[in-house]
Amino acid sequence: MIDFHTPEIIDKQWVKERLSNRDNLTCEYSFSNIFSYTAKMRLEIADVAGYLVTRCFTDDTIGYCYPVGSGDIKAVIALIIEDMRIQNRPCYFFGLGADEAEELKGLYGDLFDISFDRDGCDYIYKSENLINLAGKKYQPKRNHISYFRKTYNWSYEKMSAENIEDCYNMNVEWIQTSGSLYSEDLEKELQIIRRVFENFDALDCKGAVLRIDGKVIAFAMGTQIRTDTFCVHFEKAFSNIRGAYPMINQQFVENELSAFKYIDREDDLGLENLRKAKLSYYPDLLPEKYEAWLIDADRC
């Protein structure tokens, strides 16, 4: 039996040690995401024979990240399958890389239904492209940024303890002005952001803030997930302010993240508008991700 527990800051060191054994880190394998998403769902972790094992509960399913660490992977997966079998709902692995999907198929090919998960693929960009926005394809982004610079009395700040509360209040207003987009999910996301803000330094976060006439109108934040890659977990801007989104995107990378080769802007959740926005920045990498559902779900 696996002894799961709710992740806390004290878990950061050993979790990061396990994650260092995985080359193709994506947003699911970020300690800051693992830690913060407990505010949205029941998310638990365990240290199993040298591997990090993560599971999260929704109303209908239980999802497990593929274990990451070093040692006997087959023995650890066997323990996860045992944990799956005692649950009373469908169970699956999510966020599998292509190599992990192939490994799982080789170990337990007849036990899982493995499929490509386009909605879960991370969008990864070269930082230099997000900074320079060079070439004809980025002309619309440059136009929006130029308009923003010329039109507004704007200022840029590094995110810190001094402006985090202003960012949180901006996010509350952003939800209130979202109209038909308002949903319970946005409230849950706000809880996640609050948990990150409350542990900003302990999570080794970096962030950026834009103001117009002293008021926060956009912010972005995230964490490093590998030596050459930074993951942007959250980016918020008032959509009625032309250029706010491309400006916070470009300024964050230019001022805080230029030392990283790649910027991971996470997945699009299958949302059409979000996919269109992420594709408009022309990702340099779009690593494949897979899901693997336990076939004998009735026995979970």
- pLDDT over 50 at 299, yes or no: no
Question: If residue 62 lies in a helix (H) or strand (E), which one and from where to where?
Answer: strand 62-65
**Co-location of 148 and 174 in the same domain:** yes
**Mean pLDDT over all residues of the chain?**
92
**Co-location of 205 and 129 in the same domain:** yes
**Co-location of 167 and 185 in the same domain:** yes
**Co-location of 144 and 239 in the same domain:** yes
d(CA 39, CA 33): 10
**Co-location of 65 and 79 in the same domain:** yes
Q: What is the CA radius of gyration of the chain?
A: 20
Residues in the chain: 300
In angstroms, what CA-CA distances link 81 with 47, 74, 145, 258, 291?
16, 10, 50, 42, 15
Task: Determine the pLDDT at residue 88.
Answer: 82
Query: Is 202 part of a structural domain of the chain?
Result: yes
Query: Is 271 part of a structural domain of the chain?
Result: no
> N- to C-terminal Cα distance for the chain?
14
Widest distance between CA atoms in the chain: 62
**Co-location of 100 and 130 in the same domain:** no
Contact call for residues 133 and 145 (beta carbons, < 8 A): yes
Query: Is 190 part of a structural domain of the chain?
Result: yes
Tell me the CATH number at 160.
3.40.630.30
- The token pair that represents 152 in the structure block: 């507004």
Domain extent, residue 99, equals: 9-120+288-299
Q: Which residues are registered as beta bridge partners of 115?
A: 291
Query: Is 63 part of a structural domain of the chain?
Result: yes
3-class secondary structure, 135 = coil
**Co-location of 106 and 213 in the same domain:** no
**Co-location of 80 and 169 in the same domain:** no
Half-sphere exposure (Cβ direction) of 44: Cα atoms closer than 13 Å: 14
d(CA 249, CA 130): 8
Task: Determine the pLDDT at residue 179.
Answer: 62
Query: Is 198 part of a structural domain of the chain?
Result: yes
8-state DSSP, 114: E
**Co-location of 177 and 205 in the same domain:** yes
The residue assigned the tokens 């542990």 is 199
Contact call for residues 15 and 7 (beta carbons, < 8 A): yes
**Co-location of 90 and 191 in the same domain:** no
**Co-location of 228 and 292 in the same domain:** no
Contact call for residues 89 and 300 (beta carbons, < 8 A): yes
Query: Is 48 part of a structural domain of the chain?
Result: yes
Contact call for residues 59 and 66 (beta carbons, < 8 A): no
Query: Is 88 part of a structural domain of the chain?
Result: yes
**Co-location of 57 and 113 in the same domain:** yes
At 38, the pLDDT band (50, 70, 90 cuts) reads confident
At 176, the pLDDT band (50, 70, 90 cuts) reads confident
Give this prediction's pTM: 0.92
Query: Is 282 part of a structural domain of the chain?
Result: no
Tens of pLDDT, residues 235-270: 999 999 999 999 999 999 999 999 999 999 999 988
Task: Determine the pLDDT at residue 181.
Answer: 55
Total of domains in the chain:
2
